[in-house]
A and B are shown apart, each in its own frame.
Chain A
């Protein structure tokens, strides 16, 4: 009898776990209340091996270490099991380390405090307060978080911070105090759908992770498809995906032989779907497969293999590293090699974003002649206009606008023998997306200034 009771309790535990899982099944990732970590991360650059390309051009005085008063900057990044964006501020730190080793900003080193969070609103708000009140940062550069923009937007506005970030949440693109170097999921999905429509597909299936904000993201692709008179089917999947076979079959059946399947998932989840499609022999049952920017990694290209060469088309918000041989790209790779030991993903969109945000920040800081205060630093950030990052299709402008989508032109890449290669050069995201139209109206010519490169 005692044993039966014990077994019954074990069954109850199993049932409780199962119910908990059922309740959480629509959540993309777990959140926990880990301690807020604000890690000073400056000055102590570690070499990841000898760089073959000279990195000294990152600073104004090659080989001269900056010894002035540090300029404290801050960043908040999501870092939780399954979702980590720390590569972005870590790459920004690598760039700052390079600058610090080569003269700094007018002799001042940059000290970047990186706070991490686990999608916990209270923790994210506390991160911001700690950066401002304890670490005394004068600017925010490198923020990349699932919900940080939504949580802290009003706080940054109140204090007069003009954030340079990588955006995910709608507020990263729709508020006056946030300007991202990337497009984020909505406009990147726009780019992928736009490419598919240009290939004259008869139907679009847009599938994305079932996380907060799916309606906001899907609004862009839906507007584009509607304007082209092409039917679109919106799907969402609970992640992590455990039934990739049925997901792939459903997508292909819905799209039809002349249709396109567009995915908006993290690389591991997109890979699961694409590999399932391949194993089931479905890759050729639609006209093309598309993906938003997260799929733009060589990891994905290597894992998929040659069957997807010219079959999968991925939106690329930043210059394709394998196909670009510019001063900026070579400097990015050299800094990553020499200073980027903490950048775990290596060459790819995330580290490119960190590099781009850091170079914009340094460019702005160099324009300041007086003391580096919250007022002077953020005024300099806001004043950045037509800056050629070397990583984007367009010149980058912050400006005094009610919303900011400064990166609204993209490449399209496709896997080729384990690498992502350019399938289409810079193309403006259509202003059929009402948010893009609103930004272009506000920013005027700054919204679509092409780079000289």
Chain B
């Protein structure tokens, strides 16, 4: 076992990785709570936005802010368009079918990105933010402001969306609609408009996450599209319900993942961390549920 000092830098990197998982995971839970859809294209729309931002900034010479806005706008527009086109048709279908349908969108976007931003010929791209240039040092590791922003964004997202869903009229309507669309409609809630707002909001979150993740992880269609799968572990632990639990689980997963890195015998298996923790979490939760039900029945 390495000395404690060897673990210190990995605490810093683990928090940053946890922040990455939290950004995606919280976004997934927010939309699920608002629309009842597990939006698996969350990573793909962010990746598309980030690649468009890269093209605008690098190829067309657009200013950075225009590229970032375009990223968020594209992710929002694609998600909104999907929601408007397929939302009504899928509204009464099982949540499982709704989730599977978003895999279709994921694959289409992934194919488009692979076609337009090919990696043939050794092409490598990167999207850096001005916040990469500043920061501070912890445990001999430089922490950039982008990493701080990503972590803070997770916290803000968790607190902000939690408050939005509980305290605002639109948020309440979203929750009601996710529970039962028909009853919500009969109560006079304009479900199509509320649904559109939820999709747009989720797309914007996807765009912001895509922008930050392109900087923090990689500007690569494959990486960004499927990063959402690792984040699913945190979502699973939260059972698609609690934004706070998702955030905490994501941070714990990131920390544990990176703390395994310096341990030679376990380092090769560290990528399994999210899924092992998710499996353990689900087992514990199931056992707790069974025990609670047994007590209630007794």
When distances are taken between beta carbons in the complex, the residues of chain A under 8 Å from B95 are 6-7, 9-10
Q: When chains A and B are docked, how far (Å) is the Cα of A345 from the Cα of B123?
A: 6
Distance from B42 Cβ to chain A, minimum over Cβ atoms (Å): 12
When distances are taken between beta carbons in the complex, the residues of chain A under 8 Å from B121 are 84, 87, 297, 343-346, 348, 350-351
B104-156 contacts to A, CB under 8 A, are 110-111, 114, 118-126, 128, 132, 137, 141-142, 144
User: Do the beta carbons of B275 and A345 come within 8 Å of each other?
Assistant: no
Q: When chains A and B are docked, how far (Å) is the Cα of A246 from the Cα of B14?
A: 8
Q: CB < 8 Å: which of B128, B236, B239 contacts A18?
A: B236
Q: When chains A and B are docked, how far (Å) is the Cα of A279 from the Cα of B6?
A: 19
Counting CB contacts under 8 A, is A268 at the interface? Answer: yes
Distance from B182 Cβ to chain A, minimum over Cβ atoms (Å): 12
Distance from A158 Cβ to chain B, minimum over Cβ atoms (Å): 31
A328-349 contacts to B, CB under 8 A, are 343-346, 348-349
Q: What 0/1 readout, one digit per residue, does chain A (247-277) give for beta carbons within 8 Å of chain B?
A: 1011001000000000000111111100100
User: Do the beta carbons of B119 and A268 come within 8 Å of each other?
Assistant: yes
Q: When chains A and B are docked, how far (Å) is the Cα of A12 from the Cα of B286?
A: 13
User: Do the beta carbons of B120 and A253 come within 8 Å of each other?
Assistant: no
When distances are taken between beta carbons in the complex, the residues of chain A under 8 Å from B137 are 281
Counting CB contacts under 8 A, is A63 at the interface? Answer: no
Counting CB contacts under 8 A, is A240 at the interface? Answer: yes
Distance from A281 Cβ to chain B, minimum over Cβ atoms (Å): 4
Q: When chains A and B are docked, how far (Å) is the Cα of A20 from the Cα of B17?
A: 21
Counting CB contacts under 8 A, is A280 at the interface? Answer: yes
User: Do the beta carbons of B123 and A299 come within 8 Å of each other?
Assistant: yes
Counting CB contacts under 8 A, is B13 at the interface? Answer: yes
Distance from A242 Cβ to chain B, minimum over Cβ atoms (Å): 6
Q: When chains A and B are docked, how far (Å) is the Cα of A294 from the Cα of B223?
A: 19
B191-241 contacts to A, CB under 8 A, are 217-218, 220-223, 226-227, 229-230, 232-233, 235-236, 239-240
Q: When chains A and B are docked, how far (Å) is the Cα of A275 from the Cα of B14?
A: 17
- The count of residues in chain B whose C-beta lies closer than 8 Å to any C-beta of chain A is 65
Counting CB contacts under 8 A, is A81 at the interface? Answer: yes
User: Do the beta carbons of B233 and A18 come within 8 Å of each other?
Assistant: yes
Counting CB contacts under 8 A, is B44 at the interface? Answer: no
When distances are taken between beta carbons in the complex, the residues of chain A under 8 Å from B292 are none
- The count of residues in chain A whose C-beta lies closer than 8 Å to any C-beta of chain B is 66
Q: What 0/1 readout, one digit per residue, does chain A (54-86) give for beta carbons within 8 Å of chain B?
A: 000000000000000000000000010111111
Q: When chains A and B are docked, how far (Å) is the Cα of A346 from the Cα of B120?
A: 10
Distance from B292 Cβ to chain A, minimum over Cβ atoms (Å): 14
User: Do the beta carbons of A267 and B124 come within 8 Å of each other?
Assistant: yes
Counting CB contacts under 8 A, is A53 at the interface? Answer: no
Counting CB contacts under 8 A, is B257 at the interface? Answer: yes
When distances are taken between beta carbons in the complex, the residues of chain B under 8 Å from A269 are 218
User: Do the beta carbons of B124 and A243 come within 8 Å of each other?
Assistant: no
When distances are taken between beta carbons in the complex, the residues of chain A under 8 Å from B111 are 81
When distances are taken between beta carbons in the complex, the residues of chain B under 8 Å from A247 are 261
Distance from A339 Cβ to chain B, minimum over Cβ atoms (Å): 16
Distance from A272 Cβ to chain B, minimum over Cβ atoms (Å): 4
User: Do the beta carbons of A82 and B222 come within 8 Å of each other?
Assistant: yes
**A21-B229, A246-B261 are contacts. A11–B122 as well, Cβ < 8 Å?**
no
User: Do the beta carbons of A86 and B125 come within 8 Å of each other?
Assistant: no
User: Do the beta carbons of B17 and A243 come within 8 Å of each other?
Assistant: yes
Q: When chains A and B are docked, how far (Å) is the Cα of A281 from the Cα of B282?
A: 39
Counting CB contacts under 8 A, is A15 at the interface? Answer: yes
User: Do the beta carbons of B229 and A18 come within 8 Å of each other?
Assistant: yes
User: Do the beta carbons of B271 and A81 come within 8 Å of each other?
Assistant: no
Q: What 0/1 readout, one digit per residue, does chain B (161-183) give for beta carbons within 8 Å of chain A?
A: 00000000000000000011000
Counting CB contacts under 8 A, is B248 at the interface? Answer: no
Residue among A10, A13, A25, A270 with most chain B CB within 10 A: A10
Q: When chains A and B are docked, how far (Å) is the Cα of A181 from the Cα of B157?
A: 53
Counting CB contacts under 8 A, is A369 at the interface? Answer: no
User: Do the beta carbons of B120 and A344 come within 8 Å of each other?
Assistant: yes
When distances are taken between beta carbons in the complex, the residues of chain A under 8 Å from B261 are 243, 246-247, 249-250
A-B contact pairs, 23 of them (CB 8 A): A3-B180, A10-B96, A18-B232, A18-B274, A18-B275, A83-B119, A242-B17, A242-B227, A245-B16, A253-B6, A266-B119, A270-B124, A271-B124, A272-B223, A280-B13, A281-B137, A294-B122, A299-B123, A300-B122, A343-B121, A344-B123, A345-B120, A350-B120
Q: A79-B120, A303-B126 are in contact. List 10 more A-B contacts (CB 8 A).
A: A6-B96, A10-B38, A15-B232, A81-B114, A82-B222, A84-B120, A272-B223, A344-B118, A344-B120, A351-B121
Chain A contact residues, CB within 8 Å of chain B = 3, 6-7, 9-15, 17-22, 25-26, 29, 79, 81-87, 236, 238, 240-247, 249-250, 253, 266-272, 275, 279-282, 294, 296-297, 299-300, 303, 343-346, 348-351
- Give me the 10 closest cross-chain CB pairs, A-B, nearest first: A345-B121, A281-B142, A84-B120, A245-B13, A22-B275, A267-B124, A21-B229, A240-B223, A297-B122, A9-B96
